[in-house]
Amino acid sequence: MMKNELKKAAGWAALEYVMPGMIVGVGTGSTIAYFIDALASIKYQIAGTVSSSEVSSARLASYGIPILDLNKIKILSLYIDGADEINDKLQMIKGKGAALTREKIIAAVSDYFICVADESKKVNVLGHVPLPIEVIPMAQKYVERQLMQLGGLPQYRQNVITDNGNIILDVYHLDISDPTLLEKEINAVTGVVTVGLFANRGADMALIGTTEGVKIFTK
Q: Is 121 annotated as a binding residue?
A: yes
- Shortest Å, Cβ 188 to ligand 5RP: 22
Which residues here bind ligand 5RP, judged by CB under 6 A?
A: 7, 27-31, 81-84, 94-100, 103
Q: Is 83 annotated as a binding residue?
A: yes
Q: Is 88 annotated as a binding residue?
A: no
**HEC letters along the chain:** CCHHHHHHHHHHHHHHHCCCCCEEEECCCHHHHHHHHHHHCCCCCCCEEEECCHHHHHHHHHCCCCECCHHHCCCEEEEEECCCEECCCCCEECCCCCCHHHHHHHHHHEEEEEEEEEHHHECCCCCCCCEEEEECHHHHHHHHHHHHHCCCEEEECCCCCCCCCCEEEEEECCCCCCHHHHHHHHHCCCCEEEECEECCCCCCEEEEEECCEEEEEEC
- Shortest Å, Cβ 74 to ligand 5RP: 25
Q: Specify the residue, 81 or 144, whose C-beta has the smaller distance to ligand 5RP.
A: 81
Q: Is 212 a catalytic residue?
A: no
Q: Is 219 annotated as a binding residue?
A: no
Residue nearest to ligand 5RP (CB): 29
- Shortest Å, Cβ 21 to ligand 5RP: 26
Q: Specify the residue, 28 or 146, whose C-beta has the smaller distance to ligand 5RP.
A: 28
